[in-house]
Amino acid sequence: MAEPWESTPSGQFDREQPFQPRATYPLASFRQRAFAWIVDIVLLATIGEVLVHINPREANGVSALIDLGYMVLLLGGPFGQTVGAKVARVRVVNLNGKKLGYLRATARYFISGISALVFGLGYLWALKDPKRQTFHDKVCGSLVISTVISPNSEIDGSSFHI
């Protein structure tokens, strides 16, 4: 095998795949995830409170639909970030590092309710998991990564390599 500084015979490189430097995305810390969650909860609770003052009888149903739409559309969309995730500098991706997609985002939303059962053990799972995944991340095949990029760094237990 040629050393990096040696010239290579023509045709040795795959011409269909241009060179792209690989990057390592650190996995989001539990603190980052909690901060993103708090920002989202405050935002959604504020919207819910406004709805209660507008129409108390319909507020719960409308608020639930807004919560679902907010999480699914923002996490399943091209950026994989809610407002809280943007502020906390994290995003949700699938296990290949691509966007989560709306179907997985919907499943993740509903399964996150199961994660909250029994004292939030499904969320606390991320504290011990090597990929820092919660129960709903495991089931839906998602990862929460930090948006801070460390180019060309080595893979370890707390980073995700693309």
Residue ranges for the chain with pLDDT beneath 70: 1-23, 149-162
The pLDDT of residue 25 = 80
Domain boundaries, the chain: 23-153
Q: Where are the beta strands (DSSP E) in 3-133?
A: 23-26, 90-94
The pLDDT of residue 161 = 55
The pLDDT of residue 7 = 35
The pLDDT of residue 28 = 94
The pLDDT of residue 24 = 74
Mean pLDDT over the full length of the chain: 84
CB 101 within 8 A of CB 82: no
Cα 152 from chain centre? 21
The pLDDT of residue 160 = 57
Q: Where are the beta strands (DSSP E) in 38-149?
A: 90-94, 142-146
Structure tokens at 74: 């923002």
